[in-house]
Amino acid sequence: MPHATFFARSRMSIPHVSVRSATASVEGLCWTWRAGEKLRGVVSVHGVLDTAAPAKAGAVNADVLVLTGGADPYVTKDHVDELDRELKSAGARYKIVTHPGAKHSFTNPAANEYGGEQFDMPGDEYNADADQRSWNEILAFLERVMK
């Protein structure tokens, strides 16, 4: 299933995901992994990264993959740098991938129409290259953490 289709379907049917199992990984809107949920892996795709409750040292049990757009007006470089410092301080196993030129919702082919025009959110824009590269990152990440 193409990446954008998977995420579009998952967002329509499951607006919030929370899994409590050491045998699972989660892709969703929930950042409960910061509080120590026992997960193998967590993926954030063009997610909002700032938080009022940063992870404490030793609290992050999951491997973390963050995929963000370098031109996302809702997630600034400062937000990404702040998350990097947070995860490093928490001792987390993580990887942050910033796709240069990609805006928010870069995996959603309908982002320009629904985000940009319908809801007056010009920061939303599909980017086929970032979509494909992020999907490849997710597959490699899940292959590694789900062994």
CATH number assigned to the domain comprising residue 18: 3.40.50.1820
Per-residue pLDDT, 3: 40
Rounded Cα–Cα distance for residues 45 and 6 (Å)? 12
Contact 17, 42 (CB under 8 A): no
Question: How many structural domains compose the chain?
Answer: 1
The per-residue pLDDT string of the chain (147 residues; one tens digit each, 9 = 90 and over) reads 334 433 343 333 333 444 444 444 455 545 666 777 777 888 889 888 888 888 889 888 889 999 999 999 989 999 999 999 999 999 999 999 999 999 988 998 888 776 555 666 777 889 999 999 999 999 999 899 988
Phi, psi of 120 (to 5 degrees): 50, 50
| Residues of the domain holding 119 | 3-145
Other Cβ atoms within 10 Å of 133 Cβ, number = 17
